[in-house]
Chains A and B, each alone.
Chain A
Amino acid sequence: MTDTLSTAVSHELDGNALLDAYRTMRTIRAFEERLHDEFATGEIPGFVHLYAGEEASATGVCLHLDDRDAIASTHRGHGHCIAKGVDVKAMMAEIYGRRTGSCHGKGGSMHIADLSKGMLGANGIVGGGPPLICGTALAAKQKGTGGVGVAFFGDGASNQGTTLEAMNLASVWQLPAIFVAENNGYAEATSSTWSVAADNIADRAAGFGMPGVIVDGFDFFAVHEAAAEAIQRAREGGGPTLIEVKFTRYFGHFEGDQQTYRAGEVAYARENLDCLKRFRARVTETGQVEAARLDAVDAQVADLIDAAVEEAKAAPKPTAADLETDVYIEY
């Protein structure tokens, strides 16, 4: 059975928690919009996939997580990293290929990771993450930490055998795992309405014996609520959940994508659905947070991103001495 959650009022979040959520979403947005601009200058090497538009998903889920919990991400991983607490400056330096980066310049945008934060890595392989999360969840279960594993993956990845096998295994082993299918409408140029044979990705949950929920991915509160329930169930030994988060991405599949396969949906979403706009409208209308405090966050985030880019550009690159290190622990 698939339930659709409407925007639910969250009783758990006080003003400070709301401000944290807003700061995370704003940081992701500012990080991605800045990368979009910087990429156009030709200074950023490699492939860059931006998460703008999808901030409510990473933020709404990761707000429930702590250092016991692990997440696996995708090629579109900056948002998940930021939401799980990876250092923004180290991320930026990594994207610029610097020695000061999260992975010392060896990974790049598609492989940012911070195991100390339970961030198991962005992933260059579509469907690479879900099986790994079965493993982190198994470890948490065996060790009795109360931790959970969260696999973020796209609509495209929902068709990958690894993802489907992982969901089955998680159910068979009753793992504390949460599968977050981020349905942004496309896998590269291919529509999810075409590639996903079911009406909804969440409908597949039934086939794996776990609950499936669909949430409006532009609505932070809806994501937060759905994640709360799934994560609590997992922590209490109730097994895995599949959450399908629906929204659209604001930029191309990767930077440089001409996007001729799209129509006008981005302009519409930015104007009418945007998660940050809706969050701001709601918390100021209810009087939970004053607009001025949100403005202050915007300014702080802008400064942080400026500094991150400036420091990244000035940071040293790795050298020949780094080329053959870290292949093994010992060899």
Chain B
Amino acid sequence: MARTISYREALGEALAQEMERDESVIVLGEDNAGGAGSPGEDDAWGGVLGVTKGLYHRFPGRVLDTPISESAFVGAAIGAATSGLRPVAELMFIDFMGVCFDQIFNQAAKFRYMFGGKAKTPVVIRTMYGAGLRAAAQHSQALYPIFTHIPGLKVVVPSSPYEAKGLLIQSIRDDDPVIFCEHKAMYDVTGDVPEDSYTIPFGEAGVVRDGDDVTIVAIGRMVSVAEEAAKQLAESGVEAEIIDPRTTSPLDTETILESVENTGRLVVVDEATPRCNLATDISALVAKEAFGSLRAPIEMVTAPHTPVPFSDALEDLYIPDAQRVANAVKTVVEWKR
């Protein structure tokens, strides 16, 4: 039975169902219960995002608050994963990867290969990315391309409550280290989500909308931006096919290539800054593998090559919006040699 719940609730439900199913699943992070050692409520926050709210009392001893020591607790989650637990660590803002990146990319990401296939590191690092909340340069970045760059990490970027739940459950069950990227402007977005537990496999893109005129590949929150643009475009007779990769590593190249082979046109929408991001990665893939099908140069809609600005006046210009996507689509549709 599906009902309408929020992205936040979908994530919380995924955690609860997996903790119920598998005793080895633990949750840790700053204020994931909230209130440790404090005189008031001991389950005061449930994470700054409220995602883990309620888990502390429901699963005694399995929700751990941490000091502000990301290297230590993210590293501990990784170590515990090598030793039989399935930790879900919360790295509050993706920007904080800066203080614990070694544990993620030199440790977790390397074990399997470096140890000749002998290690298994089933850790999930949940983290919040993205602009839109006037949180400024150190709390707003879309850094999933950096993780995507690292062999050994799997990277998940869900675009809806439905995906959030199914992909988080898959992430917890997956035996490799997973970076699970939640968009901070999406926690209150609602959608239909089945009550029962379910998984969405990695490396299988979702086709969010069918269309024959142009392929739009959009990442995370940009999927809803692309949908808005597609609605606008349909009014002028342009039918866009929207592809949501769901996971940037592994990437479902097949679905993307098939779509471009049909439409002959590609627009990639990525909230990340424009150098070495998913837009350039997917564009390169298509340029190499589907060159013969392309009827127009590829367009990329991304943030500018700047840090995220604070002022609403600038941040609204920074984030790709439906108008910019629609304009890019018009450019490729109207392109003439």
Footprint of B on A, CB under 8 Å?
45-47, 97-99, 103, 105-108, 110-111, 123-128, 156-157, 159-162, 186-196, 258-263, 265, 317-320, 322-324, 327
Contacts and interface: CB of A to CB of B under 8 A. Distances in A.
B185 interface: no
Contact of B314 (A105, A123, A187, A189): A105
Contacts, number: 160
Contact of A111 (B42, B136, B312, B313): B136
Contacts of B136: 46, 106-108, 110-111, 124
21 contacts: A97-B311, A106-B136, A106-B137, A108-B136, A108-B310, A111-B137, A124-B139, A159-B68, A160-B68, A161-B69, A161-B71, A187-B68, A190-B36, A193-B37, A259-B40, A261-B34, A317-B312, A318-B314, A319-B313, A323-B306, A323-B317
Contacts of B138: 110-111, 123-125, 128
Nearest to A105: B311
Interface string B19-61: 0000000000011001111111110110010000000000000
Contacts of B98: 125
B156 to A, nearest CB: 24
Contacts of A187: 30, 67-68
A309 B201 CA distance: 52
B99 A125 contact: yes
B198 to A, nearest CB: 33
B146 interface: no
Contact of B305 (A123, A262, A327): A327
Contacts of A128: 138
A105 to B, nearest CB: 4
A190 B35 contact: yes
Most chain A CB within a 10 A radius of its CB, from B31, B67, B133: B67
B36 A45 contact: no
Contacts of A160: 68-70, 99
Contacts of B310: 45-46, 97, 103, 105-108, 111
Nearest to B30: A188
B72 A195 contact: no
A259 B44 CA distance: 8
B254 to A, nearest CB: 37
A97 B37 contact: no
Contacts of A123: 138
A153 to B, nearest CB: 10
Contacts of A46: 133-136, 310
Given A125-B98, A160-B68, A261-B34, 12 more contacts: A45-B312, A46-B134, A46-B136, A99-B311, A123-B138, A125-B96, A190-B65, A194-B37, A259-B40, A261-B38, A317-B314, A318-B314
A124 B133 CA distance: 14
Interface in B68-119: 68-72, 95-96, 98-99
A254 to B, nearest CB: 9
Contacts of A327: 305-307
B211 interface: no
| Chain B contact patch, size range | 35 or more
B185 to A, nearest CB: 13
Contacts of B320: none
A191 B41 contact: no
A261 B40 contact: yes
A210 to B, nearest CB: 21
A324 B48 CA distance: 31
Contact of A159 (B67, B304, B311, B317): B67
B309 interface: yes
B314 A106 contact: yes
Given A106-B311, A195-B37, A262-B38, A124 B137 contact: yes
A105 B44 contact: no
Nearest to A103: B310
A162 B101 CA distance: 13
A190 B313 contact: no
B318 interface: yes
Given A46-B135, A126-B68, A188-B31, A108 B311 contact: yes
B317 A320 contact: yes
A99 B314 CA distance: 10
A324 B304 contact: yes
A238 to B, nearest CB: 30
Give the one of B34, B42, B311 with max A CB within 10 A: B311
A186 B38 contact: yes
Contacts of B314: 105-106, 317-318, 322-323
Interface in B286-318: 304-307, 309-314, 317-318
B267 to A, nearest CB: 22
Contact of B34 (A98, A103, A188): A188
A125 B94 CA distance: 11
Contacts of B305: 324, 327
A276 B99 CA distance: 37
A106 B96 CA distance: 20
Q: What are the 7 closest A-B residue pairs judged by CB atoms, nearest first? A: A194-B37, A191-B37, A124-B138, A108-B310, A97-B311, A105-B311, A46-B134
Contacts of A125: 95-96, 98-99, 138
The winner among A46, A103, A187, A194 for most chain B CB atoms within 10 A is A46
A54 B138 CA distance: 24
Nearest to A98: B311
A262 B35 CA distance: 8
Nearest to B40: A261
B306 to A, nearest CB: 5
